[in-house]
Amino acid sequence: MGHGRRKKRTHLVPADDDQVPRSLVVKSGHVGRTVAALVQNVRQVMEPYTAVRLRERPSNKIKDYQAVSNQLGLTHLLLFSQTTSTNLRIARFPRGPTLYFRVEKYSLAKEQTFLTPPLVLLNNFGQGNEFKLMTAMLQNMFPAINPSTMPVARRVVLFNYQEDTGIIDFRHYAIKVKPAGVTKGVKRVKGLPSLGKYDDISEYVLQEAVESDAEDHHEQQAVRLVELGPRMDLRLVKIEDGLCGGKVLYHNHIHKSPEEIALQDKQHQQSIRSSDDDDDDDDDDSEMESSSDGAQAQPAKRSKSK
């Protein structure tokens, strides 16, 4: 009997992948062709734990993505939009916080596919609360790499903060490892061994295995980074404690005094209480309507019995 075709889409996710961060990279509203290409490039950077071929609609709202985040196991939202400038929001599902960035400059990359997640490097970030929250968000977007299961990282995503300009460099590199101190001529000779002195090919294989084990302890390797793209220059504008909304925790252009911050906190708490009270009133109104409907139904039953 023949074996049935195996559907890869319906297989259960391995237990180790349950805690892996999964991102959703989308665009909001109408954007230009280059911004749409940038969205696709960032999806490729976030591979393999993202939807690369997702087709969103301009009418999709944030609440639509929030509604399916738990079902799809999504942890982060990267939302690109375009007004007078190109903007990027990075939010944590389901309740925030949200980082607001302005994309000062960007360049695109060619289409490529990656099967393993990148290594994340954060460089030169400060000690302020906004930096601590930002570094935690950026780092938690990517899965932690376990050296025992993936001993060699294939690529690197770098976030570098420029203190003098306030710009965050986003760069994406491939990691190339080559033997150090070996010329191209030696490499060519090394690739074409002479087998004339061997009676059997197995003698050459065994000797090479012994020599390679001895050379591993002394051979030096050079690590080289090759930029893959895309690249972005980001500027942090503000941080909110909710999912694309809520209390403003940091703002790059607006600085408030301690008294203004305390007043903002008080108003925020009052708005939360008022929204809870409105929900309770709605529940009470629905109960009164249901009880009044039952009272009208009873006389109808009595008149029918007469």
DSSP 8-state secondary structure symbol assigned to residue 145: P
Q: What is the CATH architecture of 18-177+225-259? A: 3-Layer(aba) Sandwich (3.40)
Residue written as token pair 């929030």: 66
Residues ≥6 apart with Cβ < 8 Å to 49: 20, 21, 22, 23, 117, 143
Rg of the chain over all Cα atoms, to the nearest angstrom: 29
Torsion, Cα 33 36 42 43, to 10 degrees, reads: -130
What's this model's pTM, rounded to 2 decimal places? Answer: 0.71
Per-residue pLDDT of the chain (306 residues; tens, 9 = 90+): 455 444 443 333 344 566 899 999 999 999 999 999 999 999 999 999 998 888 888 889 999 999 999 999 999 999 999 999 999 999 999 999 999 999 999 999 999 999 989 999 999 999 899 999 999 999 999 998 776 666 567 899 999 999 999 999 999 999 988 777 665 555 554 555 665 666 665 565 566 555 555 455 556 778 889 999 999 999 999 999 999 999 899 999 877 667 666 666 666 666 666 655 555 555 555 454 444 444 444 444 444 444
The structural domains of the chain, with segments of one domain joined by +, span 18-177+225-259, 182-219
* Distance (Å, whole) CA 64 – CA 82: 20
| C-alpha separations of 283 from 126, 152, 272, 287, 288 in Å | 48, 57, 17, 6, 9
Contacts 24+ apart (CB under 8 A), 130-133: 130/236, 130/239, 130/249, 130/250, 131/161, 133/97, 133/99, 133/239, 133/249, 133/250
Q: What is the pLDDT of residue 257?
A: 65
| Contact assessment for residue 244 and residue 88, using Cβ atoms and an 8 Å cutoff | no
| C-alpha separations of 40 from 34, 53, 67, 82, 267 in Å | 10, 8, 23, 15, 40
